[in-house]
Amino acid sequence: MDLLIVGSGFFGLTIAERAAAAGRQVTVIDRRHHIGGNAFSEAEPTTGIEVHRYGAHLFHTSNATVWEYVNRFTTFTNYVHRVYTNHRNVVFPLPINLGTINQFFQAAYTPDEARALIHEQAGEYDPKTAQNLEERGIGLIGRPLYEAFIRDYTGKQWQTDPKELPAEIISRLPVRYTYDNRYFNDTWEGLPTDGYTAWLERMADHPNIEVKLSTDYFDESQPLNKKATVGQVPVVYTGPVDRYFDYTEGALSWRTLDFEEEVLEIGDFQGTSVMNYADAAVPFTRIHEFKHFHPERADRYPTDKTVIMREFSRFATREDEPYYPVNTPDDRAGLLAYRDLAKGEQDVHFGGRLGTYQYLDMHMAIGSALSMWNNQLA
Q: Is 182 a catalytic residue?
A: no
Q: Is 151 a catalytic residue?
A: no
- 122, interface contact from Na ion, ligand FAD, none, CB < 5-8 Å by kind: Na ion
Minimum Å gap between C-beta 362 and ligand FAD is 3
- Rule CB under 5 A: say whether 165 interacts with Na ion: no
- The counts of H helices and E strands in the chain are 13, 16
- Rule CB under 6 A: say whether 323 interacts with ligand FAD: yes
Find the helix or strand (DSSP H, E) in which 116 lies.
Answer: helix 111-122
Q: Is 311 a catalytic residue?
A: yes
Of 3, 24, 26, 37, the one binding ligand FAD (CB under 6 A) is 37
**Interface residues for ligand FAD in 90-149 (CB under 6 A)?**
none
Select from 132, 332, 141 the least CA-distant residue to 241: 332
Q: In a 10 Å sphere around its CB, with 0-12 CB exposed, 13-18 middle and 19+ buried, how is residue 30 labelled?
A: buried
Q: Which of 88, 172, 299, 319 is catalytic?
A: 172
> Among residues 104 and 183, whose Cβ is nearest to ligand FAD?
183
Q: In a 10 Å sphere around its CB, with 0-12 CB exposed, 13-18 middle and 19+ buried, how is residue 183 labelled?
A: middle
Q: State how far the Cα of 116 lies from the Cα of 213, in Å rounded to an integer.
A: 57
- Rule CB under 6 A: say whether 209 interacts with ligand FAD: no
- Residue 61: partners with Cβ closer than 8 Å, 6 or more residues away: 67, 70, 186, 187, 188, 189, 361, 363, 367
> Among residues 142 and 351, whose Cβ is nearest to Na ion?
142
Minimum Å gap between C-beta 178 and Na ion is 22
Which residues contact ligand FAD (rule: CB under 6 A)? 6-12, 29-32, 37-39, 54-59, 216-218, 238-239, 257, 323, 352-354, 360-363, 365
| Contact residues: Na ion, CB under 5 A | 122, 139
Task: Report, as residue numbers or ranges, the catalytic residues.
Answer: 172, 176, 255, 286, 311, 359, 361
